[in-house]
Chains A and B, each alone.
Chain A
């Protein structure tokens, strides 16, 4: 209950209990909030999650390492490649595999494209929740271009299962390189148009400024990471603190906000999209030559010509497809900067073909705890905007 209501008499209040969810047009995914309202002011909120609990962690204990990539797709499905690469890097850390520079740079390009895809969804749906549908339809066309790039690499649009432990299954073909270059040229124009519609729009600013503010100390205590934390003023980014996949070679800034409200979160995501474009440009310019996969024969399928002619390749192929390769015993924690924050993988291996324990440190789950506190004292429409701006993806929330 909020402070100013401590001494109020119940008869003075116009109490209502409403159910927001689990199926609701404004919630991006299925989670429920039972709100106690006085008129339109929210006094208390109670969150219920778990409506899409798919038992990823238990499932991961029953699948060999190559098949877990498909599960990680479905965590934050708007930016699936980041989850895929995060898992592959965790497995590579366990095995002690050093990926060649070319693989790292290719991964960086795909991860930044995925980040753009995720932020496009969050920002355009935030505008839709304020009533602005035009921007959504315009900027979604750019996501189709990103999907075409994914299709050229791995064959799938959304749940990509991209890459292999050790690198990529094949080098990007010329058509894909051309698509990436075209995207880097065309996206800024389309995004500028979108920003001109929304960023300085009077209605949008009035709706988002001041809603759901967070102080940096409280955000840290609640375990925030990613754009939600950077909007409060702290420049914590896993790509800079614990660089992975050669991110230290790239030159990019970390945008931060001031008040931690919805407008700041929106602007931080916008700025990150511009950063991503710049990182992709740098990666394209500095792309090194070399192999597109590391030498890890126990996990990386050998080329088909070798399978049909050489004995060891045939044996490795058989062992990988049947999932019979052993891994070292140990435990490793690896974190990547997902679109919503630090996505961590805690892998405990007992030497068998399946992990003994795989825990996903999901940023959405940890962030959403704070939601009930963030909306106390605000009105219902602001609560919807706050939820939209936190970018809660149900798949990552429940896992």
Chain B
């Protein structure tokens, strides 16, 4: 795939040589390098990138995804190299029946609450997380609301008539 950014080529080459079987897909939509990686290796890849040699020492974002068509859940990481001003995106997927992945809390402290939020919304278990429990929703909630099968509205509310609002 044609990557016009020298930094991106360096990252892709380094990753493809160290983790040859883990990189499933390489792309650069809207000029941001996006790599889909195997779930088993995501933590080692992030650890490798966060070291001094590669320089991606800043975690920008962690968020969850629900891929409805294949019934998989996933996590998307955005990390940044502040020295060379490079941003990349790493994506990983796993089946909804076994939504587990490794935590990156020990590499980036900022992942702590973001992983809790992803767990709260999608039910993704981060193995090794020091305190994985709900953060934004009520503790008694028994479902994971951001999954596509659940509706936006609260079905038990009595003051709004759904037949009038075309839901």
Q: Which residues of A contact B (CB under 8 A)?
A: 49-50, 53, 55, 57-59, 61-62, 93-94, 218, 220-223, 236, 241-242, 330-333, 335, 342, 344, 346, 348, 357, 359, 361, 365-366, 368-370, 398-399
Contacts and interface: CB of A to CB of B under 8 A. Distances in A.
B146 A222 contact: no
Given A344-B61, A346-B61, A359-B63, 15 more contacts: A49-B135, A49-B136, A50-B134, A53-B136, A57-B121, A58-B145, A331-B89, A332-B32, A333-B87, A333-B89, A346-B76, A348-B65, A357-B66, A365-B114, A399-B136
B1 interface: no
B29 A361 contact: no
Contact of A94 (B30, B58, B61, B108): B30
Nearest to A369: B113
Contacts of B78: 333, 344, 346, 361
Contacts of A62: 152
B30 A236 contact: no
The SS class assigned to the A binding surface is mixed
A289 B117 CA distance: 45
Contact of A59 (B65, B117, B121, B152): B152
B16 interface: no
Given A50-B137, A53-B136, A359-B61, A223 B110 contact: yes
A48 to B, nearest CB: 8
Contact of A93 (B30, B85, B89, B108): B30
Nearest to B78: A333
A357 B60 contact: no
A101 B110 CA distance: 36
Contacts of B137: 50, 53
Please report whether the interface of chain B is mostly helix, strand, loop or mixed according to DSSP: mixed
A149 to B, nearest CB: 32
13 contacts: A94-B30, A220-B58, A223-B58, A223-B110, A236-B82, A330-B29, A331-B29, A333-B61, A344-B61, A357-B66, A366-B113, A369-B112, A370-B109
Contacts of B63: 346, 357, 359, 361
A223 B135 contact: no
Contacts of B89: 331, 333
B39 interface: no
Given A55-B145, A331-B29, A346-B78, A222 B152 contact: no
Nearest to A240: B85
B59 interface: yes
B107 to A, nearest CB: 9
B85 A366 contact: no
A256 B36 CA distance: 37
A344 B60 contact: yes
Given A333-B32, A348-B65, A220 B57 contact: yes
B34 interface: yes
Contacts of A331: 29-30, 34, 89
A116 B146 CA distance: 35
Contacts of A61: 152
B71 to A, nearest CB: 15
A94 B32 CA distance: 12
Closest 7 CB pairs of A and B: A223-B110, A50-B136, A359-B63, A53-B136, A361-B61, A332-B30, A369-B113
B114 A366 contact: yes
A284 B144 CA distance: 49
Contacts of B146: 57-58
A346 B58 CA distance: 17
Contacts of A344: 60-61, 78
A398 B136 contact: yes
A361 B78 CA distance: 10
Contacts of B59: 223
Contacts of A223: 58-60, 108-110
Contact of A242 (B29, B34, B85): B85
Nearest to A60: B152
Contacts of B117: 365
Given A53-B137, A366-B114, A398-B136, A222 B109 contact: yes
Nearest to A397: B136
A3 to B, nearest CB: 18
Contacts of B138: 50
A49 B116 CA distance: 12
Nearest to A330: B29
B65 A365 contact: no
Nearest to B57: A220
A350 to B, nearest CB: 9
Interface string B146-157: 100000100000
A242 B60 CA distance: 14
A370 B108 CA distance: 12
B110 A369 contact: yes
Nearest to B113: A369
Interface in B1-51: 29-30, 32, 34
Contacts of B34: 331
B85 A241 contact: yes
B96 to A, nearest CB: 16
Nearest to B91: A331
A223 B135 CA distance: 18
